[in-house]
Structure 1
Amino acid sequence: MKTKLTLELEKTLYETCLEAGSIAVEEVTMPDDQGIVDTLSYQHLPDGSDEWRCYELKVTKSDFHSHAKLSFVGNYNYFVLPLSLYQELKDEIPTEIGVLSYQKYDPSQLEAATEPVLAPGYLTVEKKPRFQEITLDQRDLMRHFLYSLAREVRKAKRVETGISQYSTDRLFKELKKRHQHYDIYDPENNFYDRFIDETQTNAVTALQEEIDALNLEIAKLQHQLYEVTSK
């Protein structure tokens, strides 16, 4: 499970890549047992070349010092760290690896913003990376990149469709599991009571709309009958 801070770094990095004109995706499995890149970005440059950037996100010392494989396979490779962690670890960063430090916006910054703020914080380039040639087959790299993008699209579509993809029986079983949280002393906060109230209200509204429509039809027929009989 990702921590709240890790999610903040991910969101901020994603928005930063978009602003730079790159396409970014998280958790890209590399070919040839090269591990998993936390975030991989791709950009087709004006000179016709392709540029790949790899980002490894670390939020604690133990995370930084873990034995997990670092998949620095891009043209430019970075650590993305909270500013305080970078200040502790800056002497341990390899020469060729860049660093982006993360700082969260404070409330006063958010209040002063004149445009919608899409990220919880901002990134600062603390150390620039050195360029390196891609050693992987770029066709394999692109395939894995696209597989990961497709995965994120599937996840987004599932969120968009929401609970509509589940059967009524499945939904009923899930609701029954929540029965233990029913509070007889505070019915306004109970899902069941709200659901029944809204269902009944919707049913009454629908019936009233039907009655209004029928009354309108009756009025039209009565008017037509009056016109016929009055001639």
Structure 2
Amino acid sequence: MKTTLTIEMELSLYAYCVELGAVVVEEVTMPEDKGIVDTLSCFMFPDGKREWRCYELKVSKADFRSAAKLSFIGHYNYYVLPKSLYEQVMEEIPREIGVLVYRPYVSEEKTDVPGTFSIVKKPQRKELEVEEEALTNRFMASLFREVRKAKRMEKGVRYFPTEELYKELKNRTTFLGVAGESLLYETFKEELENQAVTELTEELTALKKDYEFLKNRQTVRRRATEPLE
């Protein structure tokens, strides 16, 4: 399960890569059983050549030292770390791997993302460890996955299975904690109650209009000059 810090770093890294002019996508399964890269960016040049950069995000010492496979198969490869973690593990980082240190923005700054990055260690260029055509195919498949997600969101959450919605809600309440979860529930309950009140008010207004319309019709039919039966 992703931590709040991991999510902040993912959002910021995506924007960072886009600002550099790259096409970028997250969680790409590598060919030849090379694992899953957290974030993969591709720079396309006028001569048709491509430059691939792989980013592995780590937020704790245990995460950094995990046995999970590192997918450093690109031309340039980076660890993406909080400053405090970098200071703890800097001696363990291979010479050819670069490091981006996450720098969160202060709350007063109005930005679209939580933070940005500083390059504290430059990577060394190397040859791709997989065939570029296979890598491009995986990259395109991951981009297609994200487009499908976006199109589903455009159509609204009603197109998502109920179990997916419950799973997302559970993930969010985990980050919020007990107090936050209670607040989320109370907010949801309050919105439902307000919606019910609004709908009843609108229905009452419509009924009043219908009543006035029928009352006026009755008045027109019974003119003073006509005999009453």
Common fold: TM-score over 0.5: yes
Q: Give 3-state SS (helix, strand or coil) of 1:124's partner.
A: strand
Q: Are residues 200 and 63 of structure 1, via their aligned partners in 2, closer, same or farther at CA, if it must alter by over 3 Å?
A: closer
Which of 201, 205, 214 aligns to 1:208? It is 205
Query: Identity of aligned pairs, percent?
Result: 49
Tell me: CA distance 1:93–1:191, structure 2 relative to 1, closer, same or farther (3 Å): closer
Structure 2: runs of 5 or more not aligned = 166-185, 217-229
For 1:90 and 1:192, locate their aligned partners in 2 and report how far apart those are by CA, in whole Å. Answer: 48
Q: Name 1:124's counterpart in structure 2.
A: 118
Q: Does 1:58 align with 2:62?
A: no
Aligned to 1:198: 195
SS in 1 for 2:88: helix
Counterpart residue number, 1:225:
none
Query: Are residues 203 and 152 of structure 1, via their aligned partners in 2, closer, same or farther at CA, if it must alter by over 3 Å?
Result: same
For structure 1, the 5+ residue unaligned runs are 172-188, 220-231
User: Alpha-carbon deviation of 1:120?
Assistant: 1.1
Deviations 1:50-70 (A, max 9, x none): 111000111111211122111
- 2: distance between equivalents of 1:139 and 1:125? 29
Tell me the SS of whatever aligns to 2:130.
coil
Superposed CA RMSD? 3.2
Q: Post-superposition shift, 1:47?
A: 3.6
Distance 1:139 1:105, change over 3 A: same
| TM-score after normalising by structure 1 | 0.72
Q: Deviations over 1:32-82 (max 9, x none)?
A: 111110110012123431111000111111211122111111111001111
How far, CA to CA, are the matches of 1:52 and 1:211 in structure 2?
66
Give 2:25's aligned residue: 25
- 1:175-224 Cα offsets, whole Å, 9 max, x none, are xxxxxxxxxxxxxx5856753553353254256358659979x99xxxxx
State the shift of 1:97 in Å.
Answer: 0.8
Cα 1:8–1:211 shift into 2, 3 Å: same
Change in 2 beyond 3 A, CA 1:12/1:210: same
